[in-house]
Amino acid sequence: MRILITGGAGFIGSNLTRHALDAGHDVTIIDDLSTGHEDNVDPFRTRFIHGSITDADAVDEALGEVDTVVHLAALGSVPRSVQNPLASHEANINGTLNLLEVMRRRGVTQLTYSSSSSVYGKNPALPKSEREWVRPLSPYAVTKLASEQYVLAYQESFGFSTTAFRFFNVYGPGQRADHAYAAVIPIFLDALAKGEPLPMHGDGTQSRDFTFVDTVCSVLMQSVEGRASHPEPINLAFGTNISLLALVDVIEEITGIRPEVTHSASRTGDVPHSQAANSALQAAFPSVEPIGLRTGISRTWEWIRTRSE
C-alpha cells in the first residue's frame, strides 16, 4: 500500500513511518518541519516533501500515486494555541480543509485523522464517551474538533472513507523535551536524567489517560490496512487514568530515583481530568493489545537516557 503521512517527521509520524515500512508499505511524508525534525526520518527510505499542508501545490505533489492518507500534521499544544490562536487555526483547520479538497480533486478518498481528547474540554464526565457533549477550553481544542468534523463531513458529502481518532496523551521514544510546548512525560524524564526537579503545573492531582505510541501506531496501521471507515470519532486510548503525582511514583519505581518536584500555576486551557471510554475502539479493533504504562515508561526512559549520555 502507498501511504501519505502528513506530519511524518514528528513524534507520532516518525514512529508510524517505521511501523508502515516494517509492514512492507511505501511511505511518502509531507512536513514543513515547524515542529517535526528531518533527522527523525533520515534513517528511513521514504519520499520526503518539505512543505506545508496549507500549500495546495505541495499537497498535490505529495498525493501523487498514493492510496491512502494518515493526517497527523498539526500545530500542536494547548499553550501554543493560547499564545497564537490564528496560527493554530491556519495550520489545523485550513490545512485540513486544503488537504481534503486536494484529495477530492485527485480522487484519493481514504483518510485516517488524528483528533484530540482536548475536544471534551469542560465536560466533567469520566470516562469520556464519544457521544458525550464537547466544550473545548482552548483554541487548539477548537481546531481539532472543527477538523475532525470536516473529515466526517467529507465522508457524508463526498463518499470518503474516513476514521477520526481522538488521541489521549500519547507518549514514547522520539518525543522530545527540548521545546517550550513539550508534553509532560518527556519533560519529567528529561529533567530526571539531568538531575533536575520535575516541573509540574498545578498541584498534580490532575489526571491523564496516557497511551504508548506503539499502541497508537498499531491501531492506525490496522485502520489503514483495513481501509476502515467510521461514522463517528473514536477514542484512541485504553481507560488508564492516573494523576501526575501518581505518575511521579511510577517513575520512581521504574528508575529507582526519587525525583524532586517543583510546582507552578496551572496553565490556561488545560483540562483537569482525562479518561477515555473505549468500547468503540475495542469493537472496531478488537485484536489490539495495549502496551501498559510501566512498560511504556521503561522504554521511554531508556530512550531518554541514551540521548542524554
Model pLDDT for residues 47-62, shown as the tens digit of each residue: 999 999 999 999 999 9
- What's the average model confidence in pLDDT over 260-283? 84
pLDDT category at 308 given cuts 50, 70, 90 is low
Query: Do residues 80 and 63 touch, judged by C-beta distance below 8 A?
Result: no
Mean pLDDT value of segment 88-105: 97
pTM here? 0.92
pLDDT above 70 for 35: yes
Phi first, then psi, for residue 23 (nearest 5°) are -85, 0
Indicate if the pLDDT at residue 211 is higher than 90. Answer: yes
Q: Give the pLDDT confidence score for residue 223 in this predicted structure.
A: 96
What pLDDT is attached to residue 41? 85
Structural contact between residues 15 and 214, judged by C-beta atoms closer than 8 angstroms: yes
Mean pLDDT along residues 206-227: 94
* Residue 269: pLDDT band with limits 50, 70, 90: low
Q: All 3 cell numbers of residue 118?
A: 482536548
Q: What is the pLDDT of residue 58?
A: 97
128 Cβ contact partners less than 8 Å away, ≥ 6 residues apart? 117, 120, 235, 274, 275, 276, 277
179, pLDDT greater than 70: no
Is residue 33 within 8 A of residue 7, CB to CB? The reply is no
Using DSSP's 3-state secondary structure scheme, residue 261 falls into: strand
Task: Give the pLDDT confidence score for residue 184 in this predicted structure.
Answer: 87
Q: Which domains can be identified in the chain, with CATH numbers? A: 2-172+211-238+276-288 (3.40.50.720), 184-206+240-274+294-308 (3.90.25.10)
Q: Are 250 and 208 in contact (CB under 8 A)?
A: no
In this predicted structure, what is the pLDDT of residue 206? 85
pLDDT given for residue 264 in this prediction: 81
Which of 98, 86, 96 has the alpha carbon at shortest distance from 57? 98
- State pLDDT tens for residues 181-193: 568 899 899 999 9
Q: What mean pLDDT do residues 213-218 have?
A: 96
- Distance from C-alpha of 70 to C-alpha of 88, rounded to nearest angstrom: 19
What DSSP element (H or E) covers 27? strand 26-31
Tell me what the mean pLDDT of segment 114-132 comes to: 93
| Over residues 234-247, mean pLDDT | 91
- Give the model's pLDDT for residue 299: 96
Q: pLDDT digits over 152-167, tens only? A: 999 999 999 999 999 9
34, HSE (Cβ side, Cα atoms, 13 Å): 18
The pLDDT of residue 181: 54
Overall average pLDDT of the 137-161 stretch:
96
The grid coordinates of residue 168 equal 489521549
Residue 75 predicted with pLDDT over 60: yes
Beta partners for residue 235, in sequence order: 166
Residue 111 has a pLDDT of 98
The confidence score (pLDDT) of residue 270 equals 73
Residue 120 known to be catalytic: no
Above pLDDT 90, what percent of the chain?
70
Cα distance from N-terminal residue to C-terminal residue, the chain: 38
pLDDT of residue 309: 59
Q: What is the mean pLDDT of residues 23-38?
A: 92
**Cell (9 digits) for 308:** 542524554
Q: Which residues pair with 243 in a beta bridge?
A: 207
Residue 262: pLDDT over 60: yes
All cell numbers assigned to 183? 508534553
Residues 140, 150, 154, 171: which is the catalytic one?
140
The β-bridge partners of 22 are none
Pairing between strand 241-243 and 207-209?
Answer: antiparallel
Please, are residues 51 and 111 in contact by the beta-carbon 8 Å criterion?
no
The whole-number pLDDT of residue 68 equals 97
**Position 89 pLDDT exceeds 60:** yes
Q: What percentage of residues in the chain have a pLDDT greater than 70?
A: 97
Average pLDDT over residues 74-100: 93
Q: Please report which helix (H) or strand (E) contains residue 31, including its range.
A: strand 26-31
Rounded (10°) CA dihedral 168, 263, 247, 299: 80
